[in-house]
């Protein structure tokens, strides 16, 4: 949203633009990079696939877990039938309490094994999902540190593979005194001049600094703006 006028008597703060919601993306699982689908400077939509590890092992583990779950699921179904039959015979006083208890115990064991097998399926599917990196929001690709064939070791601290920031917004950042910070709150509106245009901004943070000053972050539409550009933030008159 463009503004055509600024309030009289307001104070301008020198500011610099920085990326909004910059993230260093990685995979929490280890593997070999199969494909990297983006380049720095590219914009992507939320959910778009950015990088994929070789899925062969993850898919094999999922298939094995699913086969095990299917087998144990069938055993649980058989145990359920046996328990129903035992209940019926017990009701007709054809079978003993001991036999009924044995059927209940067998069913409980089969159910527990089936549940554990399904948990292994869910885990294997989750690991397969985590072998991919997808855009967490509409994003600008800032950097890529991965190439096909690269080995990712995620046991300790996962390495940064792709850096992104929001594609639609950028931050105007300025330092201000405690007096200037008074009354400024996240969600408040301030006007920002950047790239030769006056823009409506939204306060996203007012952070206290160790030297007694405050850091003001104001989000504005990014358009063609880039981090490092100069800007100014117009404080309201007091």
Task: Identify the band that residue 141 occupies on the pLDDT scale cut at 50, 70 and 90.
Answer: very high
Same domain? For 81 and 180 the reply is no
Instruction: Note the pLDDT tens digit of each residue in 54-70.
Output: 999 999 999 999 999 99
Instruction: Note the pLDDT tens digit of each residue in 187-214.
Output: 999 999 999 999 999 999 999 999 999 9
Q: In CATH, what number is assigned to the domain containing residue 70?
A: 1.10.287
State the residue range of the domain holding 211: 11-20+168-235
Long-range contacts of 179-185 (CB under 8 A, 24+ apart): 180/11, 180/13, 180/214, 180/235, 181/206, 181/214, 181/216, 184/216, 184/235
Same domain? For 121 and 63 the reply is yes
**Do the domain assignments include residue 2?**
no
Same domain? For 60 and 103 the reply is yes
**Do the domain assignments include residue 223?**
yes
Same domain? For 40 and 145 the reply is yes
Tell me, what's the pLDDT at 237?
A: 81
Number of domains in the chain: 3
204 touches 166 (CB < 8 A): no
Q: In CATH, what number is assigned to the domain containing residue 225?
A: 2.40.30.170
């Amino acid at each position: 949203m463009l503004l055509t006028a600024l309030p009289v008597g307001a104070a301008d703060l020198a500011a610099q633009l920085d990326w909004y919601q910059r993230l260093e993306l990685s995979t929490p699982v280890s593997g070999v990079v199969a494909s990297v689908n983006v380049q720095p400077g590219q914009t992507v939509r939320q959910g778009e696939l950015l990088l994929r590890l070789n899925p062969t092992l993850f898919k094999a583990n999922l298939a094995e877990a699913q086969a095990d779950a299917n087998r144990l699921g069938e055993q649980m179904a058989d145990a359920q039938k046996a328990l129903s039959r035992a209940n019926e015979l017990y009701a007709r006083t054809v079978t003993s309490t001991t036999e009924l208890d044995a059927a209940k115990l067998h069913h409980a064991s089969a159910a527990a094994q089936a549940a554990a097998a399904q948990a292994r399926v869910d885990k294997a599917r989750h690991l397969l999902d985590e072998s991919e990196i997808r855009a967490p929001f509409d994003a600008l690709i800032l950097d890529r540190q991965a190439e096909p064939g690269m080995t990712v070791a995620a046991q300790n601290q996962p390495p940064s593979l792709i850096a992104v920031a929001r594609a639609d917004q950028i931050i105007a950042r300025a330092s201000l005194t405690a007096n200037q910070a008074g009354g400024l709150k996240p969600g408040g509106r301030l006007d920002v001049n950047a790239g030769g245009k006056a823009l409506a901004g939204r306060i996203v943070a007012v952070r206290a600094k160790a030297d007694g000053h405050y850091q003001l972050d104001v989000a504005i539409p990014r358009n063609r703006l880039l981090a490092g550009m100069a800007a100014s933030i117009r404080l309201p008159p007091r």
